[in-house]
A and B are shown apart, each in its own frame.
Chain A
Amino acid sequence: MSDKPIEVSPATREISRRDLLVKAGMVGAGGIAAGALTGPAGAVARVARNSAKTIPTGGTITWALNQDPGEIAPFGGVLSATQWGNEMMYDSLLQWDHKLNLRTALATYEVISPTEIHWTIVPGRKFSNGQPVTAADLQYSFQLQSTDPAPGSISALGQFPSIDVANSGPISTYKYRMALSRPDARVFGYLAWTRYSGIVPNGMYESLNPSVSGIGTGPFMLSGDYQPGVGINYVKNPYFWQPGLPYLDGINYEIITQDSTAIAALISGDLDGATVSNANALTLVGHPGLTVLHNLTAAFRELQMTIKAGDTKPWWDLRVRQAVSLAINRTNIIDNVYAGYGQLTGHVAAGYGPWPLTTAELATYETQDVAKAKSLMSAAGYGSGFSVTMTTFSTPSDFPAMAQLIASDLSAIGIDVSIVPQPSATFAAANGNGSFDWDLTARGMRGDVDGYVAEFNPADAVYDIWFSGFKNTEMWRLVGDGRIQLNETKRLPIYHDLDSLLMTQLLEVPIVSVESFQVVSDKLKNMYVSFTGSNPGLRYVYLES
């Protein structure tokens, strides 16, 4: 475990007008919306390479959040926006670099036994109030994480690994003994995921209102309270532990829910950066003063199916599920819905560290083969097809668009798909209680690779809700083994085997992994689009004068 600071010049992918034209040529005319290319040509984006030069410090940037966090409490946060609102303020014991490698943040660790880990707080780690981080703060934070007091929701408890807080505790002022109720490999990823595992000073919840205020060890600290619906202002934390960071004096978050508003403010220079939709970002390629960044994200798209005991549906037959997967033209979806910015994915999100199957491996399962799909349908006794309802999100618009292409592909093998777009709350309700046939949905960041396959673990609640009619002991064994194997070298083949097995069983049909886009001012350097879906890159950005 390295204690060196995260590298400051993460690989970021910028897009220039030239890149876009190449991409447009690849996807064909109309693949990118007509009129998308605005501004004069020649403003080719440059990747920020700053390792050899002195980085300017100071300045404050304005960044758009496209959803109001609602509250910024560190525990029990359930919305992505909550994390966007507080991620500059809190750290966990570990952190991910931009390649999802685990790094030390507040403490180093030593695995004493499969159920005991000792954490040593790195000297000099302090909260933004100047108070040193101690083992008592760790115990207090874990207690809160394991109970998720209001204003958060206990809905985050499902993310909490097997840390036995009652039997854990300080060994000394700066050393902490963590007991696990069972061996649990998820613990390290969890402790790098600030969304759920931030460290706060002992007694913080009793001394302030964590909905709108907070104290952490992150690079920035609040300047005044968060105002719901209005915004959040952060200033530099003078006690931040990474040498030289942050470069900025402050970050002001504005809540801008409309892409059009964010784009107008980016063009006028009132905004330094924003996450915008793929289609809107592409309209800004080549615009003077703006740089379009993009990167793969964890939110890959997949088709979920229910296989419930006491029910009989055509897709209970493995051959039908395989036919469905083979009939889908994923390249067409990537090109026409995502303008070429996507790739194949398995059950573990493409780009999630060393864990996913390679693109070449995925291609063996996911290349469209309609003839084979038809023959599988006939062999399963569904040569004349069947009808099914596929629910999806009504917004963002890529979901209904993707659903249309899938329905069109499946009609070629006789499957008549009725698409039902729904608001997210309606979709979430049916998804949670299993009252759906097919859901076209998206995944997201997970603290540990187990999070992408947890629904195939019969011990987890959702298995009974979705897959009570399905049995595969090999799958169960692999899911269970992966969760308790602490040694990463031994763990990697387990997940490789598991994903390969899942690619043939297809309880869920992975569709595509997609890229996310951010548009930033040219003067804002070192930003990158994070795979995680939040904005850790803002910790390392600077303003070029």
Chain B
Amino acid sequence: MQRYLLQRLASLLLTLVGVSIAIFFMIRLLPGNIIDLEFFGDPNATPALKHRAAEQIGLVGSYPTQYFHWVGGLLRGDLGRSLLSQQPVSIAVGQAIPITAELIVLGVLFALAVAIPLGMISAVMRDRPADYVARFTGLIGISIPNFWLATLLLILTSRVFHWVPSLTYVRLTHHPIANIEQFFMPAIAMSVFTLALVMRMLRTTMLEVMKLDYVRTARAKGLSRRSVLVRHVLRNALIPVATVVGYEIGYLISSAVVVEAIFDLPGLGSTLLNALNLRDYPTIEAIVMIITAVFLVVNTVVDILYGILDPRISLTT
């Protein structure tokens, strides 16, 4: 187990190094930077003036030099400064992380809270009307783009109820109810795909597990139907679901980019989108590194959980 963990840690670090190189060079290979945007339309923009402006914000030196300077900062916990505001990126990112984290946690909780019962009902009532309804719902959930659903929800509540979630971010610690009100619709919009995926996977897995010998044995022992379903079928059927949820975290982070923009939430997604438009390299790099790290850590944890949930799986290799 210890060796496995060390291997995973080493692989995680290597991946982070790879991503840091990729993101650093890829965004610089895009034509145009913040200096071009700042000087756009200025008839007096000489190359010398542009160079001075680049010097002023630290955009000078060869790419390798800039890369090592940036990585050196990262190792010291310094994410750099925004090219636009010259403020430490850590401030913007620090404000955005709790928002995106809350959105993802709520999205996952909502998806699981709906998908697990729905998947169970669908499996237990196979080929009956309830199953058809659940499967159709799942199909819709997988097909609907989250930006469309988010916009639709917003328009619907605005036109029908004359209500939209608060335009100003409300902290969970400051006003929990208002905070949940604000995050409810974005969480739904973001989680529908995950919800549908989990529901369909759970249904399929449960149907497979229900045919296995140990389930028949459990029934033969005289255990109640509920007990068999929950303790023997569902528990085992949830193992692959755990893996899917781990990977879905990555999907939810990418969904957050759009959903945060639509619901006016100043999370990592909308910060990243704004930074991309402005070619604010340090902010883009910091957010991509954070998202990568979260994705890798979550999946490492999922792999470990997998072994705990299913003792047949060894974590030694």
Taking A155-B45, A269-B162, A462-B44 as contacts, is the C-beta distance between A425 and B271 under 8 angstroms? no
Choose the segment among B226-234, B243-251, B260-268, B289-297 that binds chain A (4+ C-beta atoms closer than 8 Å): B260-268
With a cutoff of 8 Å between Cβ atoms, the chain A residues found around residue B35 in the complex are: 153, 155
With a cutoff of 8 Å between Cβ atoms, the chain B residues found around residue A110 in the complex are: none
Taking A271-B167, A425-B37, A428-B40 as contacts, is the C-beta distance between A256 and B85 under 8 angstroms? no
Bound Cα distance from A228 to B164, whole angstroms: 22
Q: Is the CB of B53 within 8 A of A155?
A: yes
CB-CB contacts below 8 Å: A210-238 with B: 211-212, 227-231
Q: Is the CB of A257 within 8 A of B33?
A: no
Best-buried of B36, B50, B95 by chain A (most CB within 10 Å) = B36
A309, CB-defined interface residue at 8 Å: no
Bound Cα distance from A351 to B154, whole angstroms: 37
Q: Is the CB of B274 within 8 A of A68?
A: yes
Q: Is the CB of A256 within 8 A of B45?
A: no
Taking A432-B45, A461-B46, A462-B44 as contacts, is the C-beta distance between A150 and B168 under 8 angstroms? no
What's the least CB distance linking A389 to chain B, in Å? 15
In the complex, residue of chain A having the shortest beta-carbon distance to the beta carbon of B87: A211
Chain A residues with a Cβ closer than 8 Å to the other chain, count:
57
Taking A228-B85, A257-B261, A258-B261 as contacts, is the C-beta distance between A432 and B40 under 8 angstroms? yes
From B86, B261, B266, A150 is in contact (CB under 8 Å) with B86
Q: Is the CB of B266 within 8 A of A268?
A: no
What's the least CB distance linking B46 to chain A, in Å? 4
Encoded as 1 (CB less than 8 Å from any A CB) or 0, chain B from 257 to 291 comes to: 00001111010001101100111000000000000
A33, CB-defined interface residue at 8 Å: no
CB-CB contacts below 8 Å: B20-51 with A: 30-46, 49-50
Chain B residues with a Cβ closer than 8 Å to the other chain, count:
58
B140, CB-defined interface residue at 8 Å: no
A21, CB-defined interface residue at 8 Å: no
A361, CB-defined interface residue at 8 Å: no
CB-CB contacts below 8 Å: B208-238 with A: none
CB-CB contacts below 8 Å: A449-506 with B: 454-455, 457, 460-463
Q: Is the CB of B36 within 8 A of A425?
A: yes
Q: Is the CB of A154 within 8 A of B52?
A: yes
What's the least CB distance linking A256 to chain B, in Å? 5
From A70, A158, A263, A444, B44 is in contact (CB under 8 Å) with A158
Q: Is the CB of B163 within 8 A of A229?
A: no
With a cutoff of 8 Å between Cβ atoms, the chain B residues found around residue A68 in the complex are: 274
CB-CB contacts below 8 Å: A90-116 with B: none
What's the least CB distance linking A316 to chain B, in Å? 21
With a cutoff of 8 Å between Cβ atoms, the chain A residues found around residue B157 in the complex are: 264, 268
Bound Cα distance from A269 to B167, whole angstroms: 11
Q: Is the CB of A432 within 8 A of B39?
A: yes
Taking A158-B43, A426-B31, A431-B40 as contacts, is the C-beta distance between A151 and B162 under 8 angstroms? no
What's the least CB distance linking B155 to chain A, in Å? 6
CB-CB contacts below 8 Å: B161-189 with A: 161-164, 166-169
CB-CB contacts below 8 Å: A293-348 with B: none
With a cutoff of 8 Å between Cβ atoms, the chain A residues found around residue B168 in the complex are: 230-231, 252, 254
A270, CB-defined interface residue at 8 Å: yes
B159, CB-defined interface residue at 8 Å: yes
Bound Cα distance from A260 to B149, whole angstroms: 12
A159, CB-defined interface residue at 8 Å: yes
A292, CB-defined interface residue at 8 Å: no
B66, CB-defined interface residue at 8 Å: no
With a cutoff of 8 Å between Cβ atoms, the chain B residues found around residue A429 in the complex are: 31-33, 36
With a cutoff of 8 Å between Cβ atoms, the chain B residues found around residue A228 in the complex are: 85, 87, 91-92, 95, 266
Encoded as 1 (CB less than 8 Å from any B CB) or 0, chain A from 61 to 91 comes to: 0100001101100000011000000000000
From B39, B270, B271, A155 is in contact (CB under 8 Å) with B39
Encoded as 1 (CB less than 8 Å from any B CB) or 0, chain A from 416 to 429 comes to: 00000001111111
CB-CB contacts below 8 Å: B66-97 with A: 82, 84-87, 91-92, 95-96
From A158, A267, A444, B162 is in contact (CB under 8 Å) with A267
Q: Is the CB of A229 within 8 A of B270?
A: yes
Bound Cα distance from A211 to B88, whole angstroms: 11
Taking A71-B86, A230-B169, A270-B167 as contacts, is the C-beta distance between A428 and B46 under 8 angstroms? no
From A256, A257, A462, B167 is in contact (CB under 8 Å) with A256
Bound Cα distance from A151 to B154, whole angstroms: 36
In the complex, residue of chain A having the shortest beta-carbon distance to the beta carbon of B91: A228
Taking A260-B154, A268-B162, A271-B167 as contacts, is the C-beta distance between A211 and B86 under 8 angstroms? yes
Q: Is the CB of B164 within 8 A of A270?
A: yes
Taking A229-B92, A457-B43 as contacts, is the C-beta distance between A426 and B32 under 8 angstroms? yes
With a cutoff of 8 Å between Cβ atoms, the chain A residues found around residue B161 in the complex are: 268
B158, CB-defined interface residue at 8 Å: yes
With a cutoff of 8 Å between Cβ atoms, the chain A residues found around residue B92 in the complex are: 228-229
A261, CB-defined interface residue at 8 Å: yes
With a cutoff of 8 Å between Cβ atoms, the chain B residues found around residue A269 in the complex are: 162
What's the least CB distance linking B157 to chain A, in Å? 7
A26, CB-defined interface residue at 8 Å: no
CB-CB contacts below 8 Å: A185-232 with B: 211-212, 227-231
With a cutoff of 8 Å between Cβ atoms, the chain B residues found around residue A460 in the complex are: 43-44
Bound Cα distance from A227 to B266, whole angstroms: 10
CB-CB contacts below 8 Å: A46-74 with B: 62, 67-68, 70-71
With a cutoff of 8 Å between Cβ atoms, the chain A residues found around residue B52 in the complex are: 154
A541, CB-defined interface residue at 8 Å: no
B151, CB-defined interface residue at 8 Å: yes
With a cutoff of 8 Å between Cβ atoms, the chain B residues found around residue A254 in the complex are: 167-168, 264
With a cutoff of 8 Å between Cβ atoms, the chain A residues found around residue B155 in the complex are: 260, 263-264
CB-CB contacts below 8 Å: A253-287 with B: 254-258, 260-261, 263-265, 267-271
With a cutoff of 8 Å between Cβ atoms, the chain A residues found around residue B50 in the complex are: 155, 432
In the complex, residue of chain B having the shortest beta-carbon distance to the beta carbon of A157: B49
B142, CB-defined interface residue at 8 Å: no
In the complex, residue of chain A having the shortest beta-carbon distance to the beta carbon of B85: A71
With a cutoff of 8 Å between Cβ atoms, the chain A residues found around residue B263 in the complex are: 261
With a cutoff of 8 Å between Cβ atoms, the chain A residues found around residue B36 in the complex are: 425, 428-429, 432
A41, CB-defined interface residue at 8 Å: no
What's the least CB distance linking B256 to chain A, in Å? 14
In the complex, residue of chain B having the shortest beta-carbon distance to the beta carbon of A64: B167
In the complex, residue of chain B having the shortest beta-carbon distance to the beta carbon of A427: B32
A379, CB-defined interface residue at 8 Å: no
What's the least CB distance linking B275 to chain A, in Å? 9
A443, CB-defined interface residue at 8 Å: yes
List 12 A-B pairs, Cβ < 8 Å: A70-B278, A71-B84, A155-B50, A228-B85, A256-B264, A261-B261, A261-B264, A424-B40, A425-B33, A425-B277, A443-B41, A463-B43
**10 tightest Cβ-Cβ pairs between the two chains A and B:** A425-B32, A158-B44, A429-B32, A229-B266, A264-B158, A155-B38, A71-B85, A151-B86, A428-B40, A429-B36
In the complex, given contacts A153-B38, A255-B264, what are 17 additional A-B residue pairs having Cβ atoms less than 8 angstroms apart? Answer: A70-B274, A78-B37, A150-B86, A153-B53, A228-B85, A255-B266, A256-B167, A258-B151, A261-B164, A264-B157, A265-B167, A268-B163, A426-B30, A428-B39, A432-B40, A444-B41, A461-B44
Using a CB–CB cutoff of 8 Å, the interface residues on chain A facing chain B are 62, 67-68, 70-71, 78-79, 150-151, 153-155, 157-159, 211-212, 227-231, 252, 254-258, 260-261, 263-265, 267-271, 423-432, 443-444, 454-455, 457, 460-463
